[in-house]
Amino acid sequence: MALGSNTPFYETPNHPFQGERIAEESGLVGTYGLKNKEELWRAESELRQYRREARTLIGSAGGDVGAAEREGREFLAKLQRIGVLGEEDSLDDVLALDVTDILERRLQTLVYRNGLANTTEQARQFITHGHITIEGQRVRVPSYTVTVTEEPTISFESASPLTDELHPERADQ
């Protein structure tokens, strides 16, 4: 896919007017403080790609999960590095992943879960306004996927007024 093309990096639902799906999506958008459903659809598309890769690996190994895991060692290592899979998980576990597993690895969610913000919406604002750093580098993308090694280094930017623990916008510590 060429950069600058008008093709989105996600797939929209096949049946746009299903009440149950709409309600579930709205709940996830609210829970994770997403800007719109497009962000959710991107996470779902990412999950579909992971599942597709796992099915391809299992299929090319003739259903032998052990051989498929040896072939897909790099793929599994990537998913473990970003924290979607645990150290002992296998390709079968990739097929059992849920969209919430992807959403939990977003910078916005981790800033909120680590207590740097009171709400997911506030976490998004802190990130876009440049108050959050990872490994000392300012990150302004709420959907940034945080690796397991980067997670402990999430903090306020040193020049940010939010470093003052008495700042009124700071989360209750």
Q: What is the DSSP string of 30-60?
A: HHHT-SSHHHHHHHHHHHHHHHHHHHHHHHH
Residues 84, 156 share a domain: no
What pLDDT sits at residue 103? Answer: 97
Range of the domain at 122: 107-163
Residues 128, 62 share a domain: no
Across the chain, which distance is largest between two alpha carbons, in Å? Answer: 60
What pLDDT sits at residue 7? Answer: 61
Tokens linked to 55: 């099915």
How many domains does one find in the chain? 2
pLDDT digits (tens, 9 = 90+) for 19-32: 999 999 999 999 99
Residues 117, 87 share a domain: no
User: Is 166 or 46 the better-scoring residue by pLDDT?
Assistant: 46
Distances 107 to 76, 85, 170 between C-alpha atoms, Å = 21, 17, 17
Last residue of a domain, one of 100, 129, 152: 100
Res. 135 pLDDT band, cuts 50 70 90: very high
Distances 34 to 69, 119, 130, 168 between C-alpha atoms, Å = 34, 12, 18, 24
What's the CA gap between 97 and 10, in Å, rounded? Answer: 18
Residues 95, 23 share a domain: yes
- Please compute the mean of the pLDDT values over residues 82-105 and round it to a whole number: 93
Residue 10 within any structural domain of the chain: no
